[in-house]
């Protein structure tokens, strides 16, 4: 059945009656049998058929949320662990503990390293097998060619230079402080081939004004199974090469070319005006656009925020910015991406915290491409230690929070409980888990945590032996008018960054990675239902089923140009993120005269502080690092 333009609609009845909802509800409460569990009824576990192939290299055992992490987190949420948590295998003491080794946690560790007193120590814990949070990478070996691709977070604009990083915030501060280069090398496209344009990340081709820097094909389903038509570079052609009606073309073109129509003296003024409505409401009620504008906006918004325009605050759209809040970007503006996406930033943080943690010298090519030295991360002779596969189950002050001299933390690793005593703890983890882990969380903070809404996300990296089928079409990125049974919405290959000895090709007859950034959004349903439904669908689908869906989608899109999965595909890695995004829904920022829950959480309490990318509402490495630094500063004070 044909769906509306660039939107996948579903009714609440479909959700409540669908089998995927039942499977999702089952899997959201899963847990593996364990001697520490208070549950006596065995529950299903997520086996290898769910997790699937992980590629090669240091990240092969940690692609997306691991089955063990999912099981432990859901057992914790469902009170599946013994409440006493007294079967302690070991107990240690540190001055400070950071829970979570994503960008925010790494930044908290950096702040500790810069301000610590002699003899002070800090332990960093993460429930995954490697650091980085959603800023991790996948690695393939395709017939001797090394290919690296992002698991999640990727893409950035090179920020302006700053003379004093300590006086700056966000991207400019950390770009300067970490000493990242400002020029990069990419492959030149040979002049003897037909003209093609490539995006350097997995988002730029979805951004108005930047899309014209990439050879983008839009596939329009014609209502018949497996058939449709391509429109190449449709915006440059003013949509004349599309099957859209004249009315739809006019509506979309007006949206695309609408510049900034609102100007605010301050962020507070913008929040008061815009955070009371969704971006969809802003487009349709404030600017008078038809539904096509919101439907097309969903492609970028759901990829950037987790859900579409009906669930995104107009203020979040203003900050991105989107049509109605921005003029066309200058033609020279381009996004870029490290080989593994924002894993590059995470690796730079690690090299600063534990220099021996990455092999090689303190230089760009080594930090980005050399192996992790896991043995160097948790040594007793260093002020900062990092420990993985460690799920924190309990954090609690030793006495009243306003007078306690320390915090006791319990975590599980390899099925055994361990305890830590510390002077202060930074929870660089999301509110969805903090409200279950922090046992003496004040009511005000617990209620604030409960207001956050989350959306899942799936990143599928497909290693190709060749991409001649894309070259034949003349595209490096694809967007499709999703029909019933389709997988995803978009995919692309990047112009790969060249780093030292890492020299991936840009040749249609040679290997590359085709990446599907796949959100789960269902316009018309409330935010919580959309998030729950997406997690249910993602968790209930096996690796082999997703692999089949991806091949079927690629055959639909590219079969006529010669794609053959048996010949052209070398491997598929799935990266599933159950709580990928904290959705910046209308009211998230406090609305008109309201108090934003994030500001309550930022206050922390006692010797526990909270810092995570979700608190910014638009998750990105710079603001995430700001949150981690702030939280560590609070516990150090």
CA distance 156 to 580: 18
Residue 122 in any domain: the answer is: yes
The CATH number linked to 126 is 3.50.50.60
Q: At what angle do helices 103-115 and 621-636 cross, to 10 degrees?
A: 40
CA distance 293 to 233: 18
What mean pLDDT do residues 154-170 have? 95
Confidence grade of residue 574 (pLDDT, cut at 50, 70, 90): very high
Q: Which stretch of DSSP H or E encloses residue 516?
A: strand 512-519
Report which of 274, 361, 284, 286 is spatially closest to residue 319, judged by C-alpha positions: 274
- Please give the pLDDT value at position 342: 98
Q: How far is CA 350 from the centre of its chain?
A: 19
What mean pLDDT do residues 141-167 have? 96
- Examine the pLDDT at 593 and tell me if it is beyond 90: no
Q: What is the 3-state secondary structure (H, E, C) of 325-382?
A: CCCCCCCCCCCECCCCCCHHHHHHHHHHHCHHHECCCCCHHHHHHCCECHHHCCCCCC
Count CA within 13 A, CB hemisphere, residue 304. Answer: 26
What mean pLDDT do residues 129-157 have? 97
Write out the two tokens for 273.
Answer: 């005006």
Q: How far is CA 615 from the centre of its chain?
A: 14
What mean pLDDT do residues 6-24 have? 34
State the first-to-last Cα distance of the chain, in angstroms, to the nearest integer: 60
Confidence grade of residue 86 (pLDDT, cut at 50, 70, 90): confident
What mean pLDDT do residues 73-99 have? 87
CA distance 58 to 361: 18
Residue 384 in any domain: the answer is: yes
- b/e per residue, 240-260, with b = 16+ CB within 10 A? eebebeeebbebbebbbebee
What's the length of the chain?
637
Residue 394 in any domain: the answer is: yes
In tens, the pLDDT along 232-263 reads 999 999 999 999 999 999 999 999 999 999 99
- Examine the pLDDT at 29 and tell me if it is beyond 80: no
- Examine the pLDDT at 208 and tell me if it is beyond 70: yes
**CB atoms inside a 10 Å sphere around CB 118:** 5
Range scoring the smallest mean pLDDT among 9-13, 63-67, 493-497: 9-13
Confidence grade of residue 636 (pLDDT, cut at 50, 70, 90): very high
Residue 621 in any domain: the answer is: yes
Residue 418 in any domain: the answer is: yes
- Please give the pLDDT value at position 111: 98
Count CA within 13 A, CB hemisphere, residue 330. Answer: 3
Number of domains in the chain: 1
- Please give the pLDDT value at position 87: 87
Q: 3-class DSSP state for residue 300?
A: helix
- Examine the pLDDT at 116 and tell me if it is beyond 50: yes
Residue 620 in any domain: the answer is: yes
What mean pLDDT do residues 394-407 have? 96
Confidence grade of residue 205 (pLDDT, cut at 50, 70, 90): very high
What mean pLDDT do residues 343-358 have? 98
pTM, two decimals, is 0.92
| The residue to which tokens 């899997």 are assigned | 27
Average pLDDT of the residues of the chain: 91
- Examine the pLDDT at 114 and tell me if it is beyond 50: yes
Residue 611 in any domain: the answer is: yes
Residue 450 in any domain: the answer is: no
Q: What is the 3-state secondary structure (H, E, C) of 411-451?
A: EEECCEEEEEEEEEEEECCCHHHHHHHECCCCHHHHHHHHC
In tens, the pLDDT along 430-484 reads 999 999 999 999 999 999 999 999 999 999 999 999 999 999 999 999 999 988 8
- Please give the pLDDT value at position 321: 86
Torsion 603-604-609-615 (CA) sign? negative
In tens, the pLDDT along 511-566 reads 999 999 999 999 999 999 999 999 999 999 999 999 999 999 999 999 999 999 99
CA distances to 215, 301, 576, 596 from 321, rounded to whole Å, are 23, 10, 27, 21
CA distances to 357, 431, 585 from 615, rounded to whole Å, are 29, 9, 13
Q: Where are the alpha helices (DSSP H) in 487-607?
A: 527-540, 543-558, 565-568, 597-602
The backbone torsions φ and ψ at residue 580, rounded to the nearest 5 degrees and listed phi first, read -60, -40
- Examine the pLDDT at 7 and tell me if it is beyond 50: no
CA distance 310 to 277: 9
Report which of 113, 156, 89 is spatially closest to residue 334, judged by C-alpha positions: 156
- Could you tell me which residues are beta bridge partners of residue 605? 608
What dihedral angle (degrees, nearest 10) is formed by the CA atoms of 7, 13, 19, 21? Answer: 80
- Please give the pLDDT value at position 225: 66
In tens, the pLDDT along 30-68 reads 232 233 333 333 344 577 789 999 999 999 999 999 999
- Please give the pLDDT value at position 333: 85
- b/e per residue, 340-352, with b = 16+ CB within 10 A? bbbbbbbbbbbbb
- Is the peptide bond between 112 and the residue preceding it cis, with omega within 30 degrees of 0? no
- Examine the pLDDT at 13 and tell me if it is beyond 50: no
Q: What is the extent of the structural domain holding 398?
A: 85-130+372-441+605-636
Name which residue leads in pLDDT, 176 or 637. 176
The backbone torsions φ and ψ at residue 514, rounded to the nearest 5 degrees and listed phi first, read -100, 125
- Could you tell me which residues are beta bridge partners of residue 96? 122, 424
Write out the two tokens for 398.
Answer: 């030793």
Percent of the chain with pLDDT over 90: 85
Percent of the chain with pLDDT over 70: 92
């Amino acid at each position: 059945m044909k769906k509306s333009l660039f939107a996948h609609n579903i009714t609440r009845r479909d959700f409540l009656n669908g089998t995927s909802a039942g499977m999702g509800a089952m899997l959201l409460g899963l847990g593996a049998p364990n001697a520490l569990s208070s549950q006596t009824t065995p529950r299903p576990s997520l086996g290898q058929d769910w997790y699937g192939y992980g590629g090669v290299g240091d990240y092969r055992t940690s692609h997306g949320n691991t089955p063990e992490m999912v099981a432990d987190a859901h057992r914790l949420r469902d009170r599946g662990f013994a409440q006493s948590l007294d079967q302690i295998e070991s107990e240690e003491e540190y001055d400070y503990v950071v829970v979570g080794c994503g960008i925010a946690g790494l930044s908290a560790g950096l702040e500790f390293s810069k301000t610590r007193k002699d003899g002070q120590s800090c332990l960093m814990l993460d429930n995954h097998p490697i650091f980085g949070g959603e800023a991790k990478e996948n690695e393939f070996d395709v017939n001797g060619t090394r290919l690296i691709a992002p698991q999640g977070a990727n893409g950035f604009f090179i920020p302006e230079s700053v003379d004093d990083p300590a006086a700056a915030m966000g991207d400019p501060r950390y770009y300067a402080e970490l000493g990242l280069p400002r020029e990069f090398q990419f492959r030149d496209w040979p002049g003897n081939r037909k003209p093609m344009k490539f995006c350097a990340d997995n988002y730029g081709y979805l951004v108005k004004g930047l899309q014209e820097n990439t050879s983008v094909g839009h596939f329009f389903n014609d209502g018949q199974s497996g058939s449709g038509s391509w429109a190449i570079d449709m915006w440059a052609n003013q949509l004349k090469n599309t099957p859209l009606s004249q009315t739809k073309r006019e509506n979309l073109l007006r949206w695309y070319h609408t510049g900034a129509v609102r100007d605010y003296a301050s962020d507070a003024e913008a929040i008061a005006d815009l955070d009371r409505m969704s971006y969809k409401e802003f487009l349709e009620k404030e600017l008078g656009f038809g539904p096509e504008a919101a439907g097309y906006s969903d492609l970028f918004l759901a990829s950037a925020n987790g859900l579409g325009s009906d669930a995104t605050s107009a203020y979040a759209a203003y900050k991105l910015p989107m049509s109605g809040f921005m003029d066309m970007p200058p033609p020279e503006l381009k996004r870029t991406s490290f080989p593994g996406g924002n894993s590059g930033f995470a690796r730079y943080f690690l090299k600063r915290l534990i220099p021996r943690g990455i092999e090689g010298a303190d230089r760009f090519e080594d930090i980005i491409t050399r192996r992790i030295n896991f043995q160097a991360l948790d040594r007793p002779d260093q002020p900062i230690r990092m420990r993985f596969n460690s799920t924190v189950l309990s954090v609690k002050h030793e006495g009243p929070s306003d007078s306690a001299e320390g915090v006791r933390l319990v975590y599980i690793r390899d099925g055994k409980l361990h305890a830590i005593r510390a002077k202060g703890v930074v929870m660089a983890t999301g509110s969805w888990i903090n409200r279950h882990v922090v046992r003496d969380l004040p009511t005000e903070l617990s209620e604030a945590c409960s207001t956050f809404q989350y959306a899942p996300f799936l990143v599928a990296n497909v290693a190709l032996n060749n991409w001649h089928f894309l070259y034949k079409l003349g595209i490096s990125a694809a967007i499709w008018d999703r029909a019933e049974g389709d997988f995803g919405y978009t995919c692309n290959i990047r112009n790969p960054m060249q780093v030292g000895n890492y020299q991936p090709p840009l040749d249609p007859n040679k290997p590359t990675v085709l990446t599907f950034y796949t959100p789960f959004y269902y316009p018309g349903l409330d935010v919580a239902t959309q998030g729950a439904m997406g997690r249910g669908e993602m968790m209930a689908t096996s690796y082999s089923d997703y692999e089949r869906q991806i091949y079927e989608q690629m055959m639909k899109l590219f079969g006529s140009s010669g794609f053959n999965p048996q010949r052209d595909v070398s491997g598929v890695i799935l990266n599933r993120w159950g709580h990928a995004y904290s959705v910046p829904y209308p009211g998230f920022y406090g609305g008109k005269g309201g108090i934003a829950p994030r500001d309550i959480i930022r206050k922390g309490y006692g010797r526990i502080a909270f810092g995570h990318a979700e608190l910014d509402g638009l998750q990105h490495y710079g603001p995430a690092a700001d949150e981690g630094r702030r939280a560590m500063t609070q516990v150090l004070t």
